[in-house]
Amino acid sequence: EGHTGAVNSVNWSKDGMFVVTGSSDRTAKIWNVTDTEDEEDCVQTFEGHRGAICGANFSPQNICVGTTSNDRTLRVWKRGFSEPFLVKQVQEVITTSATSPDGTMFATCVKGRNIAQMRDKITGDVIRIYEGHKGVVNYATFNRDNKWLATASGDQTAKMWIVATGQVIRTFAGHSGSLNWVEFSADGRQLVTASNDCTAKVWDVFSGKCTFTLTGHSHHLYNAEFSPDCSLILTGSRDRTAKIWSATTGECVMNLVGHTGSLNDTHFSP
């Protein structure tokens, strides 16, 4: 607790010691999660956005935090400082962003657009556009070695692109609803997608084939990801639950209940 509005984004620092959250209350907060005796240990609040914060992410070195907002700006903040060192005014609302593993660029999705953008981390300028989906692109993510970008779209497909060229190398089709999320496994061999059709699907990156489908949620799935060791999958849903699944069999091994609203963002600890 601590925000006065809905929490739209939550992400871990790479060392697993902190979490950053972005909220509709127009703030982002960093939390120390190593002190189990204090459940509300907010160590820094970033204020300045004039609209809801859609995304908040740590840089790979955990030194900076990047935020995107409905106010049509993206900002980069250095931990320990109250003012951002980069404020980039953009023409459209950026709904989600993902920082590249090497920290040199970040991918953004734009409200109502069928594209993903690649932006320079220092200037915030667009350096490449990924175009090919027939529906709004809702999410984009990098694989671990920075070579591939995966996108999830309202056209019911995910696509995999070469980061350096913007070329599509694979399309993953099989869902019957809009895709809200896509994530690589840590070993880069699989993708998991989350859809409004109430399912998540696991895909072989090289063949493009669906390995299995995770069924059990009763409403839209907003996110899905593999555990760091690739053995489990975590999903979050509008049905107010999260579920943990075996990444080998697709069997649900744990049902996490207790929330009173949609789960907008869920993650394993590093």
In a domain, 2, yes or no: no
The reported pLDDT for the residue numbered 193 is 99
In a domain, 1, yes or no: no
Do both 30 and 76 map to the same domain? yes
Q: Kindly state the tokens that stand for 172.
A: 């993953």
Distance CA 192, CA 113 (A): 22
pLDDT per position as a tens digit, 190-211:
999 999 999 999 999 999 999 9
pLDDT per position as a tens digit, 251-263:
999 999 988 888 8
Cα 157 to chain centroid distance, Å, stands at 17
Per-residue pLDDT, averaged over 105-129, amounts to 95
Q: What type of residue is 27?
A: T
pLDDT beyond 80 at 238: yes
Do both 82 and 209 map to the same domain? yes
Of 111-125, 145-159, 178-192, 254-268, least confident by mean pLDDT is 254-268
Give the residue from 268, 103, 243, 242 showing the smallest Cα distance to 185: 268
The reported pLDDT for the residue numbered 60 is 87
The reported pLDDT for the residue numbered 36 is 61
Distance CA 27, CA 49 (A): 7
240 against 1, higher pLDDT: 240
Do both 55 and 151 map to the same domain? yes
Instruction: Categorise residue 66: left if φ over 0, alpha if ψ from -120 to 50, beta otherwise.
Output: beta
Do both 34 and 108 map to the same domain? yes
Per-residue pLDDT, averaged over 101-128, amounts to 94
Do both 239 and 208 map to the same domain? no
pLDDT beyond 80 at 37: no
Do both 140 and 18 map to the same domain? yes
The reported pLDDT for the residue numbered 261 is 86
Do both 227 and 157 map to the same domain? no
Do both 164 and 223 map to the same domain? no
Q: How many domains does the chain have?
A: 2
Give the residue from 151, 158, 188 showing the smallest Cα distance to 173: 158
In a domain, 164, yes or no: yes
Mean pLDDT of the chain: 94
pLDDT beyond 90 at 23: yes
Do both 72 and 134 map to the same domain? yes
pLDDT per position as a tens digit, 209-236:
999 999 999 999 999 999 999 999 999 9
Per-residue pLDDT, averaged over 48-54, amounts to 96
Do both 177 and 48 map to the same domain? yes
The reported pLDDT for the residue numbered 39 is 61
Which CATH number covers residue 70? 2.130.10.10
In a domain, 111, yes or no: yes
Per-residue confidence band for 61, with pLDDT thresholds at 50, 70 and 90:
confident
Do both 198 and 101 map to the same domain? no
The answer to whether 134 and 156 have CB atoms below 8 angstroms apart is: no
Per-residue pLDDT, averaged over 132-155, amounts to 98
Distance CA 247, CA 230 (A): 7
Distance CA 127, CA 220 (A): 33
How many angstroms separate the Cα of 9 from the Cα of each of 28, 103, 116, 162, 171? Answer: 9, 19, 19, 26, 27
What is the domain extent for residue 152? Answer: 7-189+204-215
Per-residue pLDDT, averaged over 12-35, amounts to 93
Do both 47 and 177 map to the same domain? yes
Give the residue from 200, 203, 201, 234 showing the smallest Cα distance to 220: 200
Distance CA 81, CA 30 (A): 12
